[in-house]
Structure 1
Amino acid sequence: MKWERLLSTKRVSTSMCDLAQPAHSRDLRSEFEKDYHRIIGSSSFRRLQDKTQVFALDKSDFIRTRLTHSLEVSSFARSLGQNIGECIMNQGLDAGFTREMQRDICDILQCAGLIHDIGNPPFGHFGEEAIRDWFARKLESLFYKGKPLTQVLTSQMLQDFLYFEGNAQALRQVTKLHFLSDENGMDLTYALLDTMIKYPVSSCDMDPEGDRISRKKMGYFYGEQSLYQQIAGDMGTLGVRHPLTFILEAADDIAYRTADIEDAFKKGFITYPILAEELEKGQKKAAREGKYADREHMDPLKVLADQYQAGKTKGVVSPELYAVQNFLSWLQSELLFCAATGFVSHYEQIMAGTYEKDLFYGTCGDWVIRLLGDIAYRRAFLSKQILSMEVSAWTILNFLMDLFVPAVIHYDTDQPQSMMDQKMVALISENYRQIYLMHRRHTANEEDQLYLRLLLVTDFISGMTDTYAKDLYQKLNGIS
């Protein structure tokens, strides 16, 4: 892979907004700066402010949302791009790499961080699980013209719903569901779209139990398969990750792993003594496994203790909070260094499309970042408070799926619809219905059209904020 090709400014179509500019007008923004402005001006990006990161339906104003998380990922990704670009030039890793390419990489990564979660449904990753669970339980009991859906849809179509994935929905969101000027969504650059495709495989080609990180989940639905092939084929990345995807993933890992600890601390799930105890156990385990040798400067437990003493010396109200926040800030810096080191160390493999690990693998930050995830899972995610929130979220999403999916099966066909099914379809956003009709015109195949109608529901529900989903549930139940 070559950067000249990987940093493509090509778009699926030419924006009518650009064509509408007067001939004498000159837009001095780069193509990637235009991407940035399209993203932050979109309603789908704004909706992230009312979507759960971890704590579903939480009313605390200090807990992160998808929007604040995305801003953090965007910031970390841009910084990583800057550092890695410098390393490529200073170490002579690529003779053709230029300062302009470094700037483009930073701009692309900044944009990718903003939209990497834009397809996630309400209630965090649990929302994805709830949708998958619903299809696993209900698909066999749904019928189209007297036939079970499992006998009408192709294997890939069925897999798309059984393994519904927010990453794949994000690609769909920015390329089709955001109506800017035509049917190509935000019409973002190829380089940005390819960067956000974390898993360059379909639902039939993924391998969740395998060792290849790029095959763990699906990266695009059947509905976007030809689009993916068009983009990746043009970029030279068909079936492999864009190099910047590794950087985006590392930024995401740094952001959510450290944020989950901070949010869990503020919610009371993790205390200072608990965190210190967990770090001590983690460091001893890493030492036994040979992952902690000769790295005295990477001593999380010592940094946490030092920050606690500093807080006490300064007389702060809560030396524990002071210690945790400053410790996490230090850790973010260390992990950024580790990710940059990981990219540079495996530069040739990454550019050849053969690297199948994350950027922390083999670095001094590997054990730390995995420990943080384990702490958050055991100490917070398994708590009764979060489990009860997830049950509430499941109840809401299950109810909505029960109503909307059966309602669309015979919508827009020669089959009669019940009065209630017609009303349910009418409740679906007109924007989504318009987009369905637009893309339905491109195929006369009944199974493709049925597939698009089912996507109409997952599009509608994935686009909901937590509050909208809860309010709609209450309204349809006559609660408010």
Structure 2
Amino acid sequence: MIDYRKKITCTRKYQKKVTTDIDLATESNRGRIVNSPAVRRLQQKTQVFPLEINAAVRSRLTHSLEVQQTARYISRSIINKLKRKNKIKKFNLKSLEDAFVSTTEMASLMHDIGNPPFGHFGELAINNWMKTKGVKCFNKSLNIKKNSFLEPKLRKFKRKLEEDICCFEGNAQGIRIVHSLQGLNLTYTQVASILKYTRAAYEPRPSSDSDFSYLKKKPGFYFSEEDFIKEVCNELAIKDGHRFSLTYIMEAADDISYGIADLEDAVDKGIISLKKLYETIINEASKEEHEGKGIYIKCIAEENYQKAKKAKRLKINTFIINFRTQLVNELVPYATKVFIENHQSIYDGSFNRALLEDKSKYHVALKVLKNVAFQHVFSHEEVELLELKGNSSIRGLLNCYKPLLNLSNKKFNCLVLGVSDGTPLESRLFKRLSNKHISSYEKVIKKMNDQNIKGFEFRILEWYYRARLIIDFISGMTDEYAIKEFQELSAIK
């Protein structure tokens, strides 16, 4: 039974008084998100190409705005189709239409807020460092040697947190930013809309034949936010491993947007000519022709290339604008169709794939564009140089702040209290950390003390949240700030 009154609600974790005005709650979400530092920082984070004077080239913020608009288009299309089928009342969507659209819009605006500097390359750098050096710091801080005795229950718990801390993921970090770091106190509905994957970071990835093989293919949240996510899912009746229905729309909007955008940026920067772009699309599409699915994207490319050739000026712009418009205007109705046809399983959150991840000609079109981007955009010297800089900067920063992770719980607590206790280097490093991140750390340590957690369990948890503090600080940096901070701490000019 589909009943959106159970999914789109006004409830949030902290509220002085209970409200039933869904439009007011939705507008409050919008205000909190648009004014959040995490969204503002997106303007100084790279989408693909290094940030530069050319404002036409996308940053993470401009990309997110485009995804937001595409999500609005899809969600409005879904609402309009349900109206034509007289299903609005049946699904209890009456007076929830605006909230339905706004929630997907804001989810799209937020979908990249957890990405570290330099995107996925930054994720790899953090995870590789934590696996090779972070775990050693963990043992040193706890004074655990190779053959040290640790009772089985605590050993298992420590191992669980090691797995968690070595699995940084932008989507999981987004949940952490919204709840633990910036305390946006969004409605449970709005939080659920950005929970793209449904497994904890410490959980192993399921097998390919699992009912949740796609939904759990990446970490969706950390151990640190696990209790909060359970609250969200309990409030919205989301079963374990299942996803929130509106998340599928945000995901489809992202798939549509970046498939075209990366190529447009490459053309704007002169990395690929119009002729070369057209020819590469045709060649890639031809590889899919044995199924007859590649013809669709070939026809769109051919039609708009011929139009561009006839244009007197701005031939590239003519091709890109027409190509993008036609593709979006056909992909959105298809995403809508898939959503409606699989409405029950999408509402339940058990639909184990993306809306546009099937064997249709539309999926093949996006696949072709992605392949072209990998060949001529992501492999470009300028992009690869940025990735190398990012890897060096993030690994270098983690090495610089490593002394803080080596400290015992007692000595680190002295730094928090403002007492150096014979740790002059660590004291200076601690002062460079963000006060907001330190405050989040202090809050969780106080909670642990209030719960009377003691001994090795306390020390294990304390180090975990200390490592989160360092990762939060570095992953929250913009690209330029990360490079600058690394250069300053390394005495490099």
Which TM-score applies when normalising by structure 2? 0.87
1:350 aligns with 2:346: yes
Structure 1 residue identity aligned to 2:43: Q
CA–CA distance in structure 2, aligned partners of residues 28 and 288 of structure 1: 50
Query: Hey, what does 2:297 align to over in structure 1?
Result: 300
User: How far apart in 1 are the matches of 2:410 and 2:180?
Assistant: 23
Q: Identify which of 422, 430, 439 aligns with 1:425.
A: 430
Q: Is the contact made by 1:171 and 1:197 (CA closer than 8 Å) also made in structure 2?
A: yes
Residues 10-66 of structure 1: CA distance to partner in whole angstroms, max 9, x if unpaired? 101016xx89xxxxxxx9952111100111111221111101111245554322111
- 403-412 or 241-250, which moves further after superposition? 403-412
Give the aligned partner of residue 466 of structure 2. 453
Quickly say closer, same or farther: Cα 1:155–1:59, change in 2 above 3 A.
Answer: farther
Measure, in 1, the Cα distance between the counterparts of 2:188 and 2:487. Answer: 41
Code of the aligned partner of 1:460 = F
Instruction: Choose which of 251, 259, 262 in structure 2 pairs with 1:260.
Output: 262
Q: For each residue in 1:414-461, what CA deviation from the matched residue of structure 2 results, as whole angstroms up to 9, or x when unmatched?
A: 576631111111110111111110111111322111110000011101
Are the aligned partners of 1:88 and 1:97 in contact in 2 as well (CA < 8 Å)? no
Pairing partner for 1:246 from 245, 248, 253: 248
Change (3 A) 1:62 1:417: farther
Map 1:72-111 to 2 at 5 A: 72-92=66-86, 95-111=90-106
Counterpart amino acid of 1:449? E
In structure 1, the residue matched to 2:443 is 438
Does structure 2 conserve the Cα–Cα contact (< 8 Å) formed by 1:57 and 1:389? no
What corresponds to 2:125 in structure 1? 130
Residue 23 of structure 1: aligned partner: none
8 Å CA contact 2:23, 2:99 repeated in 1:
no
Q: How far apart are 1:92 and its partner, in Å?
A: 4.6
Task: Quote the Cα distance in structure 2 between the aligned partners of 1:438 and 1:322.
Answer: 54
- The match for 1:181 is none
**1:58-77 alignment, distance < 5 Å:** 58-77=52-71
User: Which is further off, 426-435 or 89-98?
Assistant: 89-98
Contact 1:304 1:324 in 2 (8 A): no
- Read off the aligned partner of 1:214 and give its amino acid letter: L
C-alpha distance after superposition, 1:66-120 (max 9, x if no partner): 1111111111111111111222232355613434222111010111111111111
Pairwise CA distance, 1:393: 0.9
Query: Is it true that 1:326 corresponds to 2:332 in the alignment?
Result: no
Task: Provide the residue aligned with 1:154 in structure 2.
Answer: 158
Query: Offset at 1:394?
Result: 0.8
Q: Which amino acid aligns with 1:380?
A: V
Q: Which moved further from structure 2: 333-342 or 94-103?
A: 94-103
Structure 1 residues 466 and 417: alpha-carbon distance in aligned structure 2, compared to 1, 3 A threshold: farther
Q: Distance in 2 between matches of 1:131 and 1:219?
A: 17
The letter of the residue matching 2:372 is I
TM-score by length of 1: 0.89
AA at the equivalent of 2:362 = G
Uncovered stretches (5+) of structure 1, i.e. residues with no partner: 20-26, 179-184, 294-298
Quick one: structure 1 residues 58 and 210, their matched pair in 2 at CA, closer, same or farther if it must change by over 3 Å? farther
- Paired residue for 2:217? 216
CA deviations over 1:315-359 (Å, ceiling 9, x no partner): 11x313421232122212222122112211211221233311111
Question: Contact 1:208 / 1:217 at 8 angstroms: preserved in 2?
Answer: no
Range with greater deviation from structure 2 (439-448 or 348-357): 348-357
Quote how far apart the aligned CAs of 1:247 are.
0.7
2:10 touches 2:22 (CA, 8 Å); kept in 1? no
Letter in 1 for 2:7: L
Q: Structure 1 residue 400 and structure 2 residue 376: aligned?
A: no
1:78 alignment partner, SS class: helix
Deviation larger for 368-377 or 346-355: 346-355
SS at match of 1:268: coil
* Sequence identity (%): 29
1:139-191 alpha-carbon deviations (Å, 9 max, x no partner): 3432113226998762332122222101000001011211xxxxxx0000100
Partner residue, 2:275: 273
Paired residues, what number?
A: 460
Work out whether residues 141 and 408 of structure 2, in 8 Å CA contact, stay in contact via their aligned partners in 1: no
Aligned to 1:374: 371
Cα contact 1:201–1:220 (8 A) shared by 2 = yes
Contact 1:120/1:462, CA 8 A, preserved across alignment: yes
Q: Is the 8 A contact 2:103 2:190 kept in 1?
A: yes
1:172 is paired with a residue whose SS is helix
Contact persistence 2:281–2:301 (CA under 8 A): no
Does residue 25 of structure 2 align to residue 6 of structure 1? no
Distance in 1 (CA, whole Å) between partners of 2:172 and 2:159 is 17
| Deviation, structure 1 residue 206 | 4.6
Report how far residue 275 of structure 1 moved.
Answer: 2.4
Contact 2:409 2:462 in 1 (8 A): no
Extract unaligned runs of 5+ from structure 2.
Answer: 413-420
1:390 counterpart residue number = 387
- Segment of structure 1 superposing worse, 449-458 or 463-472: 463-472
C-alpha deviation, 1:138, in angstroms:
1.2
Counterpart of 2:310 (choices 310, 313, 318) is 313
The equivalent position to 1:167 in structure 2, one of 157, 167, 171, is 171
CA RMSD of aligned residues (A): 2.5
CA distance in 2, matches of 1:412, 1:141: 15
State whether residues 197 and 243 of structure 2, in contact with CA within 8 Å, keep that contact through their aligned partners in structure 1: yes
